[in-house]
């Protein structure tokens, strides 16, 4: 026999989608890049990633348990994802204690101080990374030479990134093939373009993100460097702009960092403008700034502008502006 019926306002069905599904979807998309980093940076990559994830989750738990005294949501996947993305932005030979500091800043300042998931203005992983970049510039810009599942790194093999080489006009640039495969110096998650693009395709297929932000960022950077370099050298340049796109954290930033739901605009138009802004800022920092890499700063600056973009670029309303007929 029936007990009491449930009454609620419509709709009465739900898509079954959840925050966890979205977060773990991104997680899956990051697996190829993680495998590549394991291959090239070996044990170091594993340690940095594990420590980063564990300390992000731990800090979130501690803050929710003892400071906020609210609900504990460490299993919604967002802290794990922040940890993973933070690790991807760190060199694999970074001392463990620095990783822990980065995680505490990412979760404590970047996320929980704003009120937790959904309320943060800046991408937590990038807040952590930029904090470390400014506080520990030496450790953060020394990368080990990629090997084949190395267990330890000799100090001497630390090498400069492609971007630094391009900026300083020294050294032999890695071949294009080894760049797309990831055999170059860099933070542990950013090296392999192919793995990152694989993740991008997966997220598009699973409808976790749309193409707007990544494509507009990469497109802007490519066009910027094509124009600037062509104007500089007097002949049409393609190779250098392509190196710009495939090196450094651009793809990681464009595909995984800039597309963070919480800190990116909501309308398609807003997404394109946001992506364009990140692209321009990244290019300007790379070309004219003192840092060889600018994706993190560009994303954080555009994060701050996201509420403004949301206010001014709302989706087109039904029956508004659209020409009838």
Partner 1 sequence: MNLILLAVIFLGAIGAIGATVLYFVSQAFHVEEDPRIGRIQDILPAANCGGCGYPGCAGFAGACVKAEVLDELFCPVGGSETMNKVAGILGKTVREKIPMIAVVRCNGNCENRLRTNYYDGTSNCAISSSLYGGDTGCSYGCLGHGDCVDACSFDAIHINPETLLPEVDEGKCTSCGACVKACPKQLIQLRKKGIKSRRIYVGCMNKDKGVIARKSCNVACIACSKCQKVCPFEAITIEDNLASINDDRCRLCRKCVDECPTSAIVELNFPLKKEKPLIVEEDPISII
Partner 2 sequence: MLKTFRIGGIHPPENKLSGHKAIENIPLPAQAIVFLSQHIGVPAVPVVEKGDQVRVGTLLAKSGGFVSSNIHSPVSGKIFKIDSVADSSGYKRPAVLINVEGDVWEDTIDRTDTLKKECHFSSKEILEKIAVAGIVGMGGATFPTQVKLLPPPGTKAEVLIINGVECEPYLTSDHALMLEKGEEIMVGISILMKAVLVDRAIIGIENNKKDALELFEKLSRNYPGITVQSLKVQYPQGGEKQLIDALIRRQVPGGKLPVAVGAIVQNVATAYAVYEAVQKNKPLIERVVTITGKKLGKPCNVRARIGTPVGELIDYAGGMPDGTAKIILGGPMMGKALTGTEIPVGKGSSGVLLIPSPEAQRKEMRNCIRCAKCVSACPMGLIPSYLMSLMEFNELKLAAKNAITDCIECGSCSYICPANRPLLDYIRLGKGKVIKK
CA distance 282 to 65: 38
Only one of the segments 113-121, 140-148, 164-172, 173-181 lies at the binding site for partner 2 (rule: CB under 8 A); that segment is: 113-121
Contact between 87 and 99 under an 8 Å Cβ cutoff? The reply is: yes
Residue from 30, 85, 117, 165 binding partner 2 (CB under 8 A): 117
Interface mask toward partner 2 for 306-325; x: CB under 8 A: ----x---xxxxxxx-x-xx
In the complex, what is the shortest distance from the CB of residue 3 to partner 1, in angstroms, rounded to a whole number? Answer: 8
Contact between 226 and 238 under an 8 Å Cβ cutoff? The reply is: yes
Which residue's CB is nearer to partner 2, number 37 or number 78?
Answer: 78
Number of residues that bind partner 2 (CB under 8 A): 44
**DSSP summary character for residue 157:** G
Bridge partner list, 159: 143
Asked if 68 interacts with partner 2 (CB under 8 A), we say no
CA distance 213 to 256: 10
- Neighbouring CB atoms inside 10 A of 194's CB total 16
Which residue's CB is nearer to partner 2, number 6 or number 151?
Answer: 6
Q: If we measure between CA atoms, which residue out of 201, 304, 299, 290 comes closest to residue 249?
A: 299
Asked if 322 interacts with partner 1 (CB under 8 A), we say no
In the complex, what is the shortest distance from the CB of residue 15 to partner 1, in angstroms, rounded to a whole number? Answer: 17
142 binds, among partner 2, partner 1, none (CB under 5 to 8 A by kind): none
Residue from 7, 172, 177, 231 binding partner 2 (CB under 8 A): 7
Asked if 230 interacts with partner 2 (CB under 8 A), we say no
In the complex, what is the shortest distance from the CB of residue 250 to partner 2, in angstroms, rounded to a whole number? Answer: 23
Tell me, rounded to whole angstroms, the distance of Cα 213 from its chain centroid.
12
Asked if 177 interacts with partner 1 (CB under 8 A), we say no
CA distance 45 to 91: 8
Only one of the segments 1-9, 72-80, 81-89, 90-98 lies at the binding site for partner 1 (rule: CB under 8 A); that segment is: 1-9
Residues 4-43 that bind partner 1 (CB under 8 A): 4-9
Residues 204-223 that bind partner 2 (CB under 8 A): 210
Bridge partner list, 143: 159
Q: If we measure between CA atoms, which residue out of 251, 250, 257 comes closest to residue 294?
A: 250
CA distance 160 to 30: 24
Reading the block at residue 49, the tokens are: 């990633």
Asked if 290 interacts with partner 1 (CB under 8 A), we say no
CA distance 214 to 153: 33
Residues 6+ apart with CB under 8 A from 225: 237, 240, 241, 244, 283, 287
Contact between 76 and 123 under an 8 Å Cβ cutoff? The reply is: no
Asked if 151 interacts with partner 1 (CB under 8 A), we say no
Asked if 1 interacts with partner 1 (CB under 8 A), we say no
Which residue's CB is nearer to partner 2, number 97 or number 318?
Answer: 318
Residues that bind partner 1 (CB under 8 A): 4-9
Residues that bind partner 2 (CB under 8 A): 2, 5-15, 17-19, 21-22, 73, 76, 78, 116-119, 210, 261-268, 310, 314-320, 322, 324-325
């Amino acid at each position: 026999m029936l007990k009491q019926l449930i009454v609620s306002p419509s709709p009465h069905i739900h898509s079954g989608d959840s925050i966890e599904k979205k977060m773990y979807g991104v997680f899956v998309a990051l697996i190829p890049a993680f495998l590549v980093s394991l291959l090239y940076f070996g044990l170091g990559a594993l340690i940095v990633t594990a420590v980063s994830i564990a300390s992000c989750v731990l800090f979130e738990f501690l803050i929710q348990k003892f400071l906020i005294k609210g609900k504990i949501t460490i299993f919604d996947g967002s802290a794990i994802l922040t940890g993973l993305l933070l690790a991807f932005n760190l060199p694999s030979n970074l001392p463990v204690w620095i990783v822990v500091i980065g995680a505490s800043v990412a979760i404590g300042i970047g996320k929980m101080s704003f009120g937790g998931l959904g309320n943060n203005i800046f991408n937590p992983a990038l807040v952590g990374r930029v904090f470390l970049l400014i506080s520990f510039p030496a450790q953060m810009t020394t990368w080990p030479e990629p090997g084949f599942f190395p267990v330890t790194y000799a100090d001497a093999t630390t090498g400069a990134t492609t971007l630094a080489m391009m900026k300083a006009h020294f050294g032999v640039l890695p071949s294009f093939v080894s760049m797309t495969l990831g055999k170059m110096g860099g933070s542990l998650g950013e090296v392999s373009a192919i793995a990152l693009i694989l993740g991008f395709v997966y997220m598009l297929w699973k409808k976790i993100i749309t193409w707007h932000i990544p494509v507009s960022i990469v497109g802007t950077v490519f066009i910027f460097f094509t124009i600037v370099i062509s104007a500089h050298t007097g002949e049409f340049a393609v190779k250098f702009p392509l190196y710009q796109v495939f090196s450094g954290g651009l793809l990681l930033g464009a595909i995984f960092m800039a597309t963070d739901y919480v800190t990116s605009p909501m309308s398609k138009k807003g997404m394109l403008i946001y992506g364009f802004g990140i692209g321009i800022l990244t290019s300007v920092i790379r070309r004219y700034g003192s840092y060889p890499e600018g994706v993190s700063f560009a994303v954080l600056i555009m994060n701050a502008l996201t509420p403004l973009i949301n206010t001014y670029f709302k989706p087109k309303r039904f029956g508004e502006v659209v020409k009838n007929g």
